[in-house]
Each structure stands twice: as C-alpha cells, then as structure tokens.
Amino acid sequence: MCGRYVAVHTPQQLAEEFGVDRVVVDAPVEPDYNVAPTKPVLGVMAREPRERPGARQRQLRVLHWGLVPSWAKDPSIGSRLINARIETAADKPSFRQAFAKRRCILPASGYYEWDKPPAREKGGAARKQPYFIHRADGAPLAMAGLYELWRDPERTRDDPEAWHWTCVVLTTQATDEVGRIHDRAPLIVPAEGYDAWLAPEPGDADDLRAMLVPATLGMQVDPVSTEVNNVRNNGPDLIRPVPGDHEEPRELR
C-alpha cells in the first residue's frame, strides 16, 4: 500500500513538469515530508474549462487524500479510501465512476514503506524499518490516482465551499526483485501516457492498466529514521538516510 509520501515540489515546478495549462491553487502549498491521509495534496487532471465548452485543459488543483465517492452520505469515508487496487478499481462501486472519467496524477517526491526485519537475537522483538523510495535524480513521481467531487448537501451548489475534491492512489503487486519491502506499491504514469491517462472520458480498462508501471522499478531505496512514524513530524530530516547498522541505500530494478 501507500500510506505516506513526500511532496516538496512547488506548484510552479509541477506546472512545468506536467505541462499544466491552469494552476488552481489559491493558498501557499508548503513542502510536506510526511503526507498522510486526509491531508491536502496537489493533483494534475484534465478538465473542460467553463469558458471553453468542449475544450480540454490540464489543471493543477488541491485535493484531499482519501476519496469520497459522489454518492457517499458522510465524507468521513475518505479516511479509509486512500489506496485502490488497480486490479479491481474499474469495477468497485467506490472507484468505478472515477476510474472511467476522473483519472489524475498525484506528483510525489517519493513515498515511504515499512518492513519488519527478523529479530536480531533469540526472543528479541523485531521493529519495522521505514524506507524512503524515490528517484535518484530527485524528479517527481507521477503517481497514478483517481479523483472525485463530493457536494455538501447542507450548502448550495454555487457555494465554492460545497464541493470537496478528494483523491486515491492506485496500487499494484510490488515487483522488487532485490528484496521486497511491501507486497503493494503505487503505480506510475509514464510521460508518454499522460494524455491517455488524464483524458476525461472512458478508455479501455485493460489498456489503461497496461500503461502503468510499479513505483519500484529504477527507484532508490533509503532506510530512514523512525521519526516518520509520527505524522506530527515533518521536515527534510525524515528523508535523510540513517547511518549505522541499517542496510545501505540500494536501487530496485
């Protein structure tokens, strides 16, 4: 699964990286080294601008991590819908509509996973080791996601506060040939697939699934401090490789 990630690129950097036509970000977005469910995140999507019906515009918007289906009665369901399995997302009621026409890219600087190494001594307790998985060149990962709009029934439709923009990260079976950290991993949209993935109309589900790649291939994996375990902790120290008796950074192929 993907339960935490890092997002430190500015809206301006992401707009350039992903060919964004319009940035819809009203407030400053601070670098976040410990993105957790329900937090605001940036997402890239293709939308039809009101002033140009029928046109397609690539936008960068603020979403909240944890998808709330349009039919949900209570938005709190979003805290439980942070990941969607690519194998079933096109058919699951919670994600089906979004998979058909509200696909997005969730830019990340990398993500965290935890594994549980064997106890070092007989009877000793094993502890989970966090890892930061990222591109060695520092470029953003184009994580595949879905987004949804949920309207607060207590507000009128023309009230900007009535609409909640939420998202979910798509995951797949991990393909770490060096040594699996976790059995699931986020999916990445390759650059040549941006247009097809973001297209705001249904596409062939098999073709869409086939274009995505696991966010393990070609990545660097750094063991990092357990400080990341606490969502209150933030800052660049969280992604600094830890010294000592942990395994050295390695690359997944």
The residues carrying an active-site annotation are 2, 113
- Residues pairing with 59 in the sheet: 22, 45
Print burial letters for 102-112: b (CB count within 10 Å at least 16), e (below 16).
bbbbbbbbbbb
Any idea how long the chain is? 253
13/62 Cα distance (integer angstroms):
15
Q: Cα separation of 227 and 237, whole Å?
A: 9
Distances (CA, A) of 109 to 6, 22, 134, 141, 184: 5, 21, 7, 6, 18
Residue 76, helix vs strand vs coil? helix
Indicate the residue type of 160: P
Cβ-proximal residues to 74 (8 Å cutoff; 6+ apart), any chain: none
DSSP E strands, 8-128: 22-24, 32-35, 40-47, 57-65, 83-85, 103-108, 110-115
